[in-house]
């Protein structure tokens, strides 16, 4: 077997042994998010990566509220979570959560209302502090 074919075979075996959508350990309710990477953060999450809109608590589906105001400000102006009185809980992997938030906010797949509802819910679950709008 040539070196090229051997390397190709090894790559196929390695790819087949990896899970298709590894988990990041981040959850919302019963929804488990995949591990987002830099490409996901740059180009946005897929619709399948979001919890279904029916699973999002009603309070986050409203267009107003503390967390929705933070999401709107992050979406249109950017900034740091600390600018809005929030910081990740110690139990949350900061890097994974930031990548997930960027991927979720930057996606064109879901409707805007779905996207903001999920991110508002995520902020309420993953962060400590009182949101400042």
Full-prediction pTM beyond 0.95? no
Residue 20, in any domain of the structure: no
Res 64: pLDDT: 81
- C-alpha pair distances (Å), 61 with each of 33, 79, 96, 120: 19, 23, 24, 9
Residue 95, in any domain of the structure: yes
Each residue's pLDDT tens digit, 38-60: 888 899 999 999 999 999 999 99
Task: Residue 103: give the domain boundaries.
Answer: 35-46+57-133
122 and 101 Cβ atoms separated by less than 8 Å: yes
- Domain count of the chain? 1
Cα-Cα-Cα-Cα dihedral sign, residues 69, 70, 76, 77: positive
Residue 41, in any domain of the structure: yes
Residue 18, in any domain of the structure: no
Given a cut of 50, the residues of the chain with pLDDT beneath it are 15-21
127 and 89 Cβ atoms separated by less than 8 Å: yes
116 token code pair: 């903001």
Residue 11, in any domain of the structure: no
Cα 48 from Cα 76, distance rounded (Å): 24
Res 14: pLDDT: 56
Cα 118 from Cα 113, distance rounded (Å): 9
Residue whose structure tokens are 């929030």: 86
Residue 74, in any domain of the structure: yes
Q: Rounded to the nearest 5°, which phi and psi values hold at 36? A: -80, 150
Question: What length is written for the chain?
Answer: 133
Q: Which residues of 87-111 are buried (b: 16+ CB within 10 A; e: fewer)?
A: ebeeebeeebbebbbbbbbebeebe
């Amino acid at each position: 077997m040539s070196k090229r074919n051997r390397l190709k075979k090894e790559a196929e075996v390695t790819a087949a042994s990896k899970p298709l959508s590894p988990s990041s350990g981040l959850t919302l309710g019963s929804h488990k998010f995949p591990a987002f990477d830099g490409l996901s953060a740059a180009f946005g999450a897929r619709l399948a990566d979001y919890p279904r809109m029916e699973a999002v608590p009603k309070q986050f589906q409203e267009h107003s509220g503390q967390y929705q105001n933070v999401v709107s400000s992050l979406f249109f102006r950017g900034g740091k979570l600390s600018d809005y009185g929030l910081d990740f809980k110690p139990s949350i992997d900061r890097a994974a959560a930031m990548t997930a938030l960027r991927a979720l906010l930057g996606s064109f797949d879901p409707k805007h209302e779905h996207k903001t509802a999920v991110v508002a819910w995520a902020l309420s679950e993953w962060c400590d502090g009182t949101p400042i709008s």
